[in-house]
Structure 1
């Protein structure tokens, strides 16, 4: 009788351990799925903020508030960012956008153009007492959108770092909890604010 009780206890312990392992694996897979969804959402937000920044920059360039050379320089960089976005949109698969469609170069160029054209001195001129209200509004939109781009990129990269940390765990790798999902990449480009120096 005692041997049968011992076997029953062992079977119950093994069953409890298997249930606990199954629950942990299920929890880990669901968490990883949520983190991947967070990365997808963050990429969409970053994409939208970049489009807003490019549109605001183009609006400032065509407002007549800047000298012709600066206007042309800024309009060229903003148009390049808009064109690159529409030529290579994020695909049907949201995780396709993880590689940022190779837009880092044009986004860095726009940041550099904004930093060059909107030096602190130029911003002071635009904000002067006799400043054009349309130009002032365009400048404020550029500054606000540039700040939102910085925040969106940071949020995206934080989400990617969380996914990478979880996917590096042994249990995730051994049980292939990530499935066939691609490992998301960090988005790295120059996102300095206007007036931050050329």
Structure 2
């Protein structure tokens, strides 16, 4: 090959490499934006679920014992406080938010099953909040999985295409949806 041929080949390779890096960088930025949006949606649904649980404690039926009412309110408030701390960037050690959200999930599951004590509207509100958390968590974890997969590839790692952004973490909680009476009889 002539020297000019080598030069043309080098320019073509440089252009292709630049296009690939630009495409990968853009995709990585979009994935990080997707994680941020999914995290905001998940936070909103977690707050909504804790607020629904808090509403049960405040407007509890007479069948709910005062000790149980206090426990439900304390669990909801702890989850709300951990959510505010996480949004402020004060992540607690050992997954304190996950533990608080698991406690909320257990309380919601316990209360939503007993429709006749709470009333069908309140139980349906709790089940709907639990369903929304389940969906939001799945969207968030899918976004985290996709971002981690792209960042784990060799070239994005070698070229440090993610910059100084932290690797997003999965949010794992027990978000089983409490069954309704109609589902039990079906």
Q: How far off is 1:154 after superposition?
A: 0.8
1:111-165 alpha-carbon deviations (Å, 9 max, x no partner): 111222333xx12x25xxxxx8xx4333222111110001111110010000110
Q: How far off is 1:14 after superposition?
A: 1.1
Alignment of 1:27-46 (within 5 A): 27-46=23-42
| TM-score, normalised relative to structure 1 | 0.80
Asked if the contact 1:73–1:113 (Cα under 8 Å) also holds between the matched residues in 2, the reply is no
For residue 123 of structure 2, the aligned residue among 139, 160, 166 is 139
| TM-score, normalised relative to structure 2 | 0.85
- Does residue 177 in structure 1 map to residue 154 in structure 2? no
Q: How far off is 1:42 after superposition?
A: 0.6
Query: Matched residues in 2 for 1:118 and 1:141: separation?
Result: 9
Q: How far off is 1:104 after superposition?
A: 0.6
Query: Matched residues in 2 for 1:163 and 1:102: separation?
Result: 24
> Hey, what does 1:60 align to over in structure 2?
56
For residue 149 of structure 2, the aligned residue among 128, 142, 165 is 165
Query: Matched residues in 2 for 1:16 and 1:106: separation?
Result: 55
Q: Structure 1 residues 150, 85: closer, same or farther in 2, change over 3 A?
A: same
Query: Matched residues in 2 for 1:61 and 1:195: separation?
Result: 20
Secondary structure of the structure 2 residue equivalent to 1:181: coil
Q: How far off is 1:38 after superposition?
A: 0.5
> Hey, what does 1:116 align to over in structure 2?
110
Moved over 3 A (4+): none
Q: Which shows bigger deviation, 72-81 or 31-40? A: 72-81
Paired residues in the alignment total 177
1:84-111 alpha-carbon deviations (Å, 9 max, x no partner): 223x04137xxx88x9x74111100111
Question: In terms of Rg, which structure is larger?
Answer: 1
Higher relative contact order (CA 8 A, sep 6+): 1
